[in-house]
Amino acid sequence: MEQNYTIGNMDCAGCAKEVETGVARLDGVKFVRVDFASGKMKLDGDVDFEILKGRVESLGKTIITEEEAKAQPQKIMRGGVLGFWDYLVSRFETRLALFGAALALFTLIVNPAQAGIFYTIAMLIALYPIAKSGINALRINHEFSINLLMSIAAIGAIIMGEYLEAFTVIFLFAIGESLEGYTADRARDSLRSLVALKPTQAVLLLAGEERTVPVESLRIDDIILVKPGENIPMDGEIISGNSGVNQAPITGESMPVHKAAKDAVFAGSINGEGTLKIRVTHLAQDNTLNRIIQLVEEAQSSRARTQRVIDRFANYYTPGVMVVALLVAFIPPILFGGVLETWAYRALTMLVIACPCALVISAPVTIISAITAAARQGILIKGGVHLESLGQIQAIAFDKTGTLTQGKPVVTSTKAVNCSGEANCLPCNDMVALAAAVERHSTHPLAQAILNHADTQQLTYPAAQNVTALAGQGVQGEVNGHQVTIGSHRYFDQTYPHSSDFCQEVQSQESQGYTTMLIGDEGGVRGYITVADEPRAESQAVIQQLNALGVTTVMLTGDNAAVAQSIARQLGVQEFQANLLPDQKVAGIETLKSQYGYVAMVGDGINDTPALAAATLGVAMGGAGSAQALETADIALMADDLSKLPFAIRLGRFARYIIQQNIALTFAVKLGFLSLAVFGATTMWMAVFADVGMSLLVTLNGMRPLRLK
């Protein structure tokens, strides 16, 4: 049976691994996963909660059930000194450390002659929870934890008579661990801010009455009322009313979107100036906001390749430093006549600086911050490994229809053979009205383009009679007793005589990527209508930005080469491949991967699934309206907005740079202080101060993606 718990007092990713290892050793546990990013533990097995709680608490952490966590209100920690003080006094070990500090200070003022004794007492008070956790980690997990290393260092300092230094080391360590925990919790607040968007109540309309109910009680097809300024509590469809709706929490759109009857709305978005009646379309647990939160939580627990390498390295790093410290303590005195006390002190200093916290936290905090920053902009990145890949993308392949273009054809020009050349040409208008009459009941995209154009121009004839298809060549029908034909240029070449000049004009339109439809009646050819799938408004700017970032842009389309070339030229796409079937798109992706290594594919998440899966990174359009898009791709653009893509690339590169920067800084400081310790050029309290400072620096640096614009 799978159960979920919330784990507290986890200051770094090493703490999560410590709890995971300890709980995994309990009888009845089949599987356990502790996620530092969200502070949650998933456990599959049959184990008594009191036994589980005892094990977790013996390792210095806290645990509550999923039900208890849900009952607690979501709190966003306040920042600054007051926020840190609140966090500090909430922890048992830091309260002991502060009490020990007060005792030591009081003794120093009142009875300095006995300071050594009281420093020792103060140190032992502060050390108790740290040593207990370290000893239990060794006993249960058979691992040397940082708590055990610090305990050994402090006891060793007492034995050598360094009372003040022993207390200072433990006090700084306790405060430093709390500060690390505080900054880690501040990083988790970025996820809590998403959870805080979840509405808890809704106004249900039942038999004409308004009733406030929990959102969990609502069922599909229930009618709810949302007043101006209120959060929309459920995914649904508007049945009456219209309003500007702020969808920024879901899609990242900067401006409110006008919504009216039959439009979809999402839970967590904010109603504007109008009152809306909404029919519920998804249960609370299945709505878009819940899916986003769940996927972001899962994404943050998905470890990047760099993070997995660091975790494996940390398993050997701490024991390795222990061995080196023992050699430093005993080899010089035994072989070279060194002073045991001097070399033992240097070895203890090495133990203090050996803490791997800064190293193992260098990637997780950055991943938490970057994935949450992306979610705020309507970009759902489904894991640290995908974030890392995003920062390495060298080429992006785009599907054309519905991705770079609007996905629906529109009329771009009309030209009757006897066109007057005027803005409102009567022969052209009459030709369009005839074409619309024949296409009146057709659902074909080209027919819809003609109908939309005719309706916009208010050009109407009665719907044609006896409409018949011409086997892929066009369509015919009778309008006011006259037979009207709409067909391809090839069909008209065979059936309707027309001048060479007219023929060349149509061919010129087709060479530019337009689809041409010729119209004729008993009197001959009436003219032509050109139709095209117009580029999205943002496509050209997006392609230009990606090209400027050094990313090669490629278009993969099933359309013909002329259309593909025309769109590529308009938008500035660097390469294109046309006339591709789905399996040929996959082959195209494989070719690009052999050329560029890391390749992303952008498509609709459904029709382009094979190509999305074949790419290094699959990017789906329109995640907010498509459950399939959320599940299919590695990244989903929630607002169906390509303009978010350059930001995503910059974010991925920035996050990868920060992780590399954190690792380099951490190694430099560790190696530097280990070298200083060997030569006796540093002290234990300086080492712990540097270690804590490095952990804080890495954490704060890792939170920078939250501020990326």
Q: Which residues are catalytic?
A: 399
Q: How far apart are the C-alpha atoms of 599 and 596, rounded to whole Å?
A: 7
Contact 387, 304 (CB under 8 A): yes
For residue 537, the SS3 value is coil
Nearest to 309 by CA among 408, 226, 384, 208: 384
Q: How far apart are the C-alpha atoms of 331 and 328, rounded to whole Å?
A: 6
Residue 103 makes CB contacts below 8 A (sequence gap 6+) with: 118, 121, 122, 125
Residue 69 makes CB contacts below 8 A (sequence gap 6+) with: 5, 6
| Residue type (1 letter), 483 | Q
* Lookup: tokens for 615: 């790419």
Q: How far apart are the C-alpha atoms of 615 and 603, rounded to whole Å?
A: 11
Contact 382, 634 (CB under 8 A): yes
Cα diameter, the chain: 120
Q: What's the helix, strand, coil split of the chain in %, to 5? A: 55, 20, 25
How many helical (H) and strand (E) elements, i.e. helices and strands, does the chain have? 26, 26
Q: How far apart are the C-alpha atoms of 510 and 563, rounded to whole Å?
A: 8
> Angle between the 305-336 and 340-353 helix axes, to the nearest 10 degrees?
180
Residue 99 makes CB contacts below 8 A (sequence gap 6+) with: 125, 126
| Residue 68 CB neighbour total at 10 angstroms | 11
Nearest to 380 by CA among 196, 5, 632, 601: 632
